[in-house]
Structure 1
Amino acid sequence: MKNSPIRTPLLSTEPMPFTSERYATGSQHSDSDNVRPPIGFWRFGWRSASGEKSVLFDQRAVAVNAGLLCCLSLVCVIYLSLGSVPVAPLAVLQVLLGNADSMTAFVVQELRLPRLAAACATGAAFALAGILMQTLARNRLATPGIIGIDNGATAFAVASVVGLGVSIAPPAMALAGATTAAVLTFGLSAGSGTQGYRFIIAGIGVGAVFGAVTQLMLARVAIDTANAAYPWTVGSLNARPAGAVQLLGVGLALGLAAALALARSLTLLRFKDATARGLGVNVRRRRLEVLLLSVALTGLAVAVAGPVGMVGLIGPEIARSLSSSRSVPIMAATLAGALVMVLADLAGRTLLAPIELPVGIVTSVVGGPWLLWILMRPQRSFT
C-alpha cells in the first residue's frame, strides 16, 4: 500500500513552529505589525500593558483639518490687522508674542482680540451644533436655526434683558429657551422622531412663534430697553454679556470632546435604525445625547452673539464638500464654522466703515443664496 501524503489541516490549534521569518531579529514581533491600513488611512500602533492597540487616521480628514486651521489662523491675523486703526500683520504677531508698544497692544489685545475670540467660539459652536442636528435628522436643512432652537433661545434671552420679571442671566435663559424650543418641536412632530420633513416643518412653526414673541416683547418696552435687547434679535458681537464668552469656551471644549467621542456612533446613525442597532449602537440613547449636546451648544452661542443661524448651515456644508463621506466631519465643520463667523464679522466691520453691520445680517445675506443652492442641487446621501 502506498503511503498517502500528509495534509496539513486548514485550521490548527498546534503552536506555530519557530521560523526565521517570524523572528528575524531574534525578538518576538506582533502579527499586527504587518497589518496594512485601508487605502486612504494612516495606522499607528503601540503596545501597552493591556495588549496591542492601533489607531487609524483618515488622510483626507487630516489634510482638510490642517488646511482649515491654516486658513483660520491667516484670517485671524488679518482680522486683528484691519479696522479704523490699521495694524501691520507683523506688528500683530509681535503683540501676540508680547513684543509691541503699548498703543498697538491696546488696540489688538483689548479691542479686537476679545471680539475675535467670541467670533471663533460662536461660529464653532453654531457649526458643531448644526452638523450634529443634521446627522441626527439625516437632513441638511435640520440646523438649530431653521428648526426654531435659535429663536427659542433668543426669545428667552431677550426676556431676561427687557426685564419681564426675570433676573436670570442671558446664558442661562438662552439654554432654557433652546431646550423649550427643542421639546416643543419634538412634541409637535407627533412621534415621527427627528427624521422626515414633518420635524423640519414643526421646527419652522415653533421658530416663527418664538420670533413673534420676541417682537412683541420689544414692542411693549421703552425704546432704550429695546435697543439694549436688539443685538439678540439680529446677531451681533457688540453686546457680549460679561462672562458669556468664557462660559461658551468651556462649553465648546467639552462639547467638542463629547462629539469626537460620539464620532463612531454618529457615523452609524446616518444609516437606518436597524442597521445602527445591528452594529451595536443604542440608537435612542445616542439620539438623546446628540440632541442635548446640540441644544446646549446653541444656547451658549446665542447667549453671546444672538441667532446667527446660517453659520450652522454653511459650516457643515463646507466641511462635507471638502471631506470624504466615510465619516461625519466634526472637526472640519467646527473649524469651518469659526472661519465663516470670523470672515462675516470682518466684512461687517470693514465693508461699510465707519458703519458697522451686525454679523447676523452678513451671514443671512450670504446664507440665503447658499440655502437656495442646497435646495436646487442634487442632495448627497448621508449614507
Structure 2
Amino acid sequence: MSVAPRHRLWLLGAVLLIASGLFLVWGLRAPYGFILGLRVTKVAALLLVGASVGAATVMFQTVAHNRLLTPGIVGFDALFVLLQTTLVIMLGGVGYVSLPQIPKFLIESLTLTAAAVALFSLVLRRGADDMTRLVLTGVIFGILMRGLTGFMQRILDPSEFAVVQQATYATFGAVDPLQLSIAAPLFAIVLALSIRIGPSLDVAALGRTQSLSLGVDHDRLVLLVLTLISLLIAVATALAGPITFLGLLAASLAAASIGTYRHRILIPAAAAVGALILVFGQFVFERLLGFQSTLAVIVEFLGGLLFLFLVLKRRPT
C-alpha cells in the first residue's frame, strides 16, 4: 500500500526532528548550558540555510521549466564572493574582521537581494516568458564577476587573501544568534507565502500559454516567485556562505521521495530535505567522524555528481 505524499512529508519532518535532536544531545558534556547553546545556534543555522536553498530551488526550477537548474546559476555565489573581496580591499583584513556582524549581514542580504531583483526586472521587463535569456544573462554576469574577483584578489597581500578565502567558504560555526533572529522571521514569512501560492505554481509549471488560459497572471507570478527566491537565497548565502549544489540535491531527493509535483507539498518537502542534508551531514562529520568544515565540500561533490547524472540521463529532444 503506497503512502500518501502528505504522510511522506510528515515522515520527513519526523526524521528531521530526530536528526536535529541527535545533533543537540550526542556526546553532550559539561558545561551543558554553554555547549547546548552553541549547538542550538548551529542547528538553527543548518535548518534555515538548508530549508531556504531547498525551497528556493524547487520554485526556480518550476518557473525556469528545467529540473537541472539552481538559483546559483544566475550569479548569487559569484556576487557574494565579489562583495567579500570588495569589503576586504576597502577596509583591509583587520577592518573586515572587525565589522559588526549585524550590519555586515544586512548589507550582504540587501545587496544580494537588490542585485537579483534588478537583474530579474531588467531581463524580464517585456514579460516573463523568456527564462532562457534570464539564465544566460545570469551565467554571463557570474563569469564577469568571477573574473573581476580574480583580478581583485591578485592585488591582495597574503594575509588579506586568507581573510577572503575564509569568508567565502560555507561555514556554520560562526553564525551570530542575532543574525538568526533577523533571518528566521523573514524565512518563515517567505516560506509561508511560497506555500500559499503553491497552486498557482502548479499551473505555472504547465507553461505560460496554459497558465494564461487558466486565469493565472503568469508574468506577475514569475516576478513574485523570483523575488521570493532572491530573499531566500540572499539570506541563506549571507548567513553561512554559498553552497551551489545543495538545492539540486534537495529538490531532486524531495521529488523522488514525495512522489508528487504539487507545490504545497513539494516546497516544504524540499525545505525539509535540504535541512536534513545539512543537519545529518554535519552530525556525521562532527559527532561520528570528528571532522570540521568539510560538509560543504562533500555536498558540492555529491551535487556535482547528481548534476552530471541528470544531464547524461536526459534524452535528446
Unaligned runs of 5+ in 2: none
Q: Which residue of 1 aligns with 2:69?
A: 142
Contact 2:84–2:168, Cα closer than 8 Å, also in 1: no
- Residue 136 (structure 1) shift: 1.1
Asked if 1:213 corresponds to 2:140, the answer is no
- Residue 246 (structure 1) shift: 1.9
Q: Which residue of 2 aligns with 1:172?
A: 107
Asked if 1:106 corresponds to 2:34, the answer is yes
Post-superposition Cα deviations, 1:144-193, rounded to whole Å, max 9, x if no partner, equal 12232232234224434554599852333243234425644775699685
Matched residue SS, 1:145:
helix
1-structure distance, mates of 2:305, 2:273: 18
2-structure distance, mates of 1:127, 1:141: 13
Contact 1:186–1:199, Cα closer than 8 Å, also in 2: no
2-structure distance, mates of 1:223, 1:120: 34
Distance 1:257 1:196, change over 3 A: closer
Q: Which residue of 2 aligns with 1:151?
A: 78
Asked if 1:61 corresponds to 2:5, the answer is yes
- Aligned AA (1:376): L
- 1:254 aligned to 189, 202, 225, which one? 189
| Structure with greater proportional helix content | 2
Contact 1:137–1:194, Cα closer than 8 Å, also in 2: no
Contact 2:249–2:306, Cα closer than 8 Å, also in 1: yes
1-structure distance, mates of 2:214, 2:123: 31
| Bigger shift: residues 366-375 or 149-158 | 149-158
Asked if 1:125 corresponds to 2:69, the answer is no
Contact 1:171–1:299, Cα closer than 8 Å, also in 2: no
- Aligned AA (1:76): S
Matched residue SS, 1:302:
helix
1-structure distance, mates of 2:148, 2:91: 12
Q: TM-score, normalised by structure 1?
A: 0.70
| Structure with greater proportional strand content | 1
2-structure distance, mates of 1:173, 1:78: 32
1-structure distance, mates of 2:23, 2:188: 23
- Aligned AA (2:10): A
Asked if 1:339 corresponds to 2:266, the answer is no
- Residue 106 (structure 1) shift: 2.4
Q: Which residue of 1 aligns with 2:292?
A: 356
Listed as ranges, the matches of 1:163-202 within 5 Å are 163=90, 169-181=104-116, 183-184=118-119, 193=128, 195=130, 197-202=132-137
Contact 2:58–2:267, Cα closer than 8 Å, also in 1: yes
Asked if 1:281 corresponds to 2:225, the answer is no
Q: Which residue of 2 aligns with 1:14?
A: none
2-structure distance, mates of 1:331, 1:169: 29
Matched residue SS, 1:243:
helix
Q: Which residue of 2 aligns with 1:377?
A: 313
Distance 1:322 1:234, change over 3 A: same
> Number of residue pairs matched?
304
Unaligned runs of 5+ in 1: 1-39, 41-58, 88-100
| Bigger shift: residues 259-268 or 273-282 | 273-282
- Residue 309 (structure 1) shift: 1.7
Q: Which residue of 2 aligns with 1:330?
A: 267
Listed as ranges, the matches of 1:65-84 within 5 Å are 65-82=9-26
Q: TM-score, normalised by structure 2?
A: 0.83
- Residue 114 (structure 1) shift: 0.7
Matched residue SS, 1:169:
helix
Matched residue SS, 2:156:
coil
Contact 1:127–1:333, Cα closer than 8 Å, also in 2: yes
| Larger-Rg structure | 1
Name which structure has the greater RCO, CA cutoff 8 Å, separation 6+.
2
Distance 1:196 1:256, change over 3 A: closer
Post-superposition Cα deviations, 1:57-95, rounded to whole Å, max 9, x if no partner, equal xx723212111111111211222245xxx23xxxxxxxx
Contact 1:348–1:356, Cα closer than 8 Å, also in 2: yes
1-structure distance, mates of 2:133, 2:288: 40
Post-superposition Cα deviations, 1:321-363, rounded to whole Å, max 9, x if no partner, equal 122335121110111111112133334435763x523432121
Distance 1:231 1:343, change over 3 A: farther
Contact 1:315–1:333, Cα closer than 8 Å, also in 2: yes
2-structure distance, mates of 1:231, 1:139: 33
Matched residue SS, 2:4:
helix
- Aligned AA (2:245): M
1-structure distance, mates of 2:284, 2:86: 30
| Bigger shift: residues 291-300 or 278-287 | 278-287
1-structure distance, mates of 2:142, 2:20: 33
